[in-house]
Amino acid sequence: MVLLGMDLGGTKLAAAVFNEEGTILHKEHIMLGKASGKAAGQLIGSCLQRMLYSTKYGTVDAVGIAVPGIFHQSTGTVWAPNIAGWTDYPLLEEARNICKEIPVTIDSDRACYILGESWQGNAKQQKHAIFLSVGTGIGAGILVDGQVLRGAQDIAGAIGWMALQPPFSDEYLHCGCFENYASGEGIANTARKMLMAMPGGTGPLYTRQPAQLTALDVFEAYKHHDPVAMKVIGGCIEFWGMATANLVSLFNPEKIIFGGGVFGPAIPLIPGIEEEARKWAQPVSMKQVVFEPSALGNDAGVYGAGWLARKSLINKQPVGINDVQ
Amino acid sequence: MVLLGMDLGGTKLAAAVFNEEGTILHKEHIMLGKASGKAAGQLIGSCLQRMLYSTKYGTVDAVGIAVPGIFHQSTGTVWAPNIAGWTDYPLLEEARNICKEIPVTIDSDRACYILGESWQGNAKQQKHAIFLSVGTGIGAGILVDGQVLRGAQDIAGAIGWMALQPPFSDEYLHCGCFENYASGEGIANTARKMLMAMPGGTGPLYTRQPAQLTALDVFEAYKHHDPVAMKVIGGCIEFWGMATANLVSLFNPEKIIFGGGVFGPAIPLIPGIEEEARKWAQPVSMKQVVFEPSALGNDAGVYGAGWLARKSLINKQPVGINDVQ
């Protein structure tokens, strides 16, 4: 069994060939640049076309694709905020035209992250597990009884919109309260605002141009006890703790897995986040949940896509881990 | 088909006989007083014994019981914080000893509320619906794809513990942040504290003994624009809005139903709660969700218990609405 998993990002595409056991046999990255609309679709299509029959592992038996946004199961279309023109893009139809009799399955990146972890990462054997993805934005892939939580319109898991601090501020309008403070973009932004509000301070961050500041800079400065970085990251630990506490109280999961670009540098903060969550969460649920970093890192999405491919060959059931192993 | 549904509260038991279509043919209430431990079990048992064969509608075909706390499916035992001694009470075994060949199904009250609404109330046809129960405490019964969300240990839906306002305060230790402010007990408590912190004020609430104040008093005073009541209830609207926004963003449900003793007097506030939620929630999810009061009021639990009974006769699948009409 040869499986092709593709993880589409806003600027690049990762593609990996897996065997049935989930071992990556071959992996490559294709830069999408600023391709938008149909051009982005064509880049993906040409990669797909090239890899379907030409890998040295033989013809691909099934394809899975992770998309950076929402996949609407009923229409086969994609909403991807970081690819211009993809408000309702017919990716499934296009991929099927290329793949012909080879089955293609598409799902959102956040669904793929937790499916990847449940196949080959830190959520094996777990039927109730959550992947908290913190990168430019924030989303959650949620397994409920082995099935991905989708909601009425496939947009469940929009945890970046979590309300965590009243009163409402217009800052939250664009992306939600939690994401406004505790995403990669939020971290950089909050630090920028603090630096500009308190000019003339000391610490490594004051040596930087606020406009060029990234979350990585803030984490680097945090290591050196920069006072602004300490304040920004301290606030994030509180928000991450509150948000994961809310997941624990609502879902009673076995595991919460931290991933995305920020985890990364925030992995050493997980024990502190767990300590914060323990204050807030339903205590019995909190006692047995495990907080862990992603085992697959940047590959979580491509593993999840590989798993979608595998699943499509095994049966036509809704996506879930019940049939894994 | 004759179905017996029993809704066990902390101080009383409601029992109703249903036909297959979900019409209540007979209903009665039994006061439990302060019965605890085995004595509470015996009161329930004697009611069960009496009703199984003696109703004028014929022998009962199946029994469902809603319990005020958590029902552990794997052990058949109940944790009910308001019945002394019920930390792990073997209710299923006791009920089976009485019912013999008549099937008995038990579930938590919050599960029964949403199942009742999906059978005979405001969640008919909904596969993604949430019942927010606000009484002395706060809990949520959550339907995901027609199935009750249980989590790894049957304690999902513990929304009273939702973290909504940093920093953490020791006030939240006992019951959680959301419940501390926005439950019936929380409303009375917050009003009491305000009155004692600002003695000598004017308004109807100042004429009451703080120690005897109830949530109902606060709602009554709110109608008369009492300034303390306005502040307490205004705060609750914000918290209820934030909490339901978080449910909308995470679950992408079709409907949120407000019930429990507080909704009740808080029903006229639902449009204001929706307005608050709209500020915070994922906007696409928010656009299509419907906020409604319970159609069944105090009977939601007994309807849910009736539905458990009905379900046990139809098949042995996990509890859910997939099989309801």
Taking an 8 Å cut-off on Cβ atoms, the answer to whether B155 and A238 are in contact is: no
Q: How far is A251 from chain B (nearest CA, A)?
A: 5
Comparing CA positions, the residue from A188, A88, A96 lying closest to residue A137 is A188
- Is B198's pLDDT higher than 90? no
Taking an 8 Å cut-off on Cβ atoms, the answer to whether A127 and B249 are in contact is: no
* Secondary structure letter of residue B68 according to DSSP: S
Chain A residue numbers touching B168 (CB-CB < 8 A): 276, 279-280
Taking an 8 Å cut-off on Cβ atoms, the answer to whether A250 and B140 are in contact is: yes
Q: What is the ipTM of this complex?
A: 0.94
Chain A residue numbers touching B243 (CB-CB < 8 A): 163
The residue of chain A nearest to residue B140, with distances taken between CA atoms, is: A250
The 10 Å CB-count burial string (b at 16+, else e) for A225-251 is ebbbbeebbebbbbbbbbbbbbbbbbb
- Is B278's pLDDT higher than 50? yes
- Is A197's pLDDT higher than 60? yes
- Is A320's pLDDT higher than 60? no
Chain A residue numbers touching B160 (CB-CB < 8 A): 249
- Is A207's pLDDT higher than 90? no
Chain B residue numbers touching A153 (CB-CB < 8 A): 252, 284-285, 288
pLDDT at A315: 62
Task: For residues B64 and B309, give the distance between their C-alpha atoms in angstroms, rounded to a whole number.
Answer: 4
Taking an 8 Å cut-off on Cβ atoms, the answer to whether A284 and B155 are in contact is: yes
Taking an 8 Å cut-off on Cβ atoms, the answer to whether B166 and A165 are in contact is: yes
- Is B191's pLDDT higher than 80? yes
What's the pLDDT band for B82 if we cut at 50, 70, 90? Answer: confident
**Least confident segment among A108-112, B80-84, B290-294:** B80-84
Percent of chain A with pLDDT over 70: 97
Task: For residues B208 and B288, give the distance between their C-alpha atoms in angstroms, rounded to a whole number.
Answer: 43
pLDDT in tens, B147-178: 999 999 999 999 999 999 999 999 999 999 99
Give chain A's mean pLDDT. Answer: 93
Amino acid at A112: C
Contact between A230 and A238 under an 8 Å Cβ cutoff? The reply is no
Cis, peptide link before residue A200, omega less than 30° from 0: no
pLDDT at B323: 41
Q: How far is B64 from chain A (nearest CA, A)?
A: 23
pLDDT at A112: 98
Map out the domains of chain A with their CATH numbers. 2-116+298-314 (3.30.420.40), 124-294 (3.30.420.40)
pLDDT average, residue stretch A17-33: 93
pLDDT average, residue stretch A73-89: 93
pLDDT at A11: 82
Chain A residue numbers touching B142 (CB-CB < 8 A): 250
Contact between A321 and A127 under an 8 Å Cβ cutoff? The reply is yes
Pick from A114, A147, A251 the residue to mutate for testing the B interface (most B CBs within 10 Å). Answer: A251
Task: For residues A180 and A132, give the distance between their C-alpha atoms in angstroms, rounded to a whole number.
Answer: 16
- Is B195's pLDDT higher than 70? yes
Neighbour tally for A49: CB within 10 Å: 12
pLDDT at B211: 87
Instruction: Please tell me which of the candidates A140, A145, A245 has its beta carbon nearest to residue B163.
Output: A245
pLDDT in tens, B98-115: 999 999 999 999 999 999
pLDDT in tens, B64-81: 999 999 999 999 999 998
pLDDT at A323: 41
The residue of chain A nearest to residue B165, with distances taken between CA atoms, is: A165
pLDDT at A288: 95
What's the pLDDT band for B322 if we cut at 50, 70, 90? Answer: very low
pLDDT at B204: 87
pLDDT average, residue stretch B284-299: 97
Task: For residues B138 and B158, give the distance between their C-alpha atoms in angstroms, rounded to a whole number.
Answer: 8
pLDDT average, residue stretch A145-150: 96
pLDDT average, residue stretch A44-54: 90
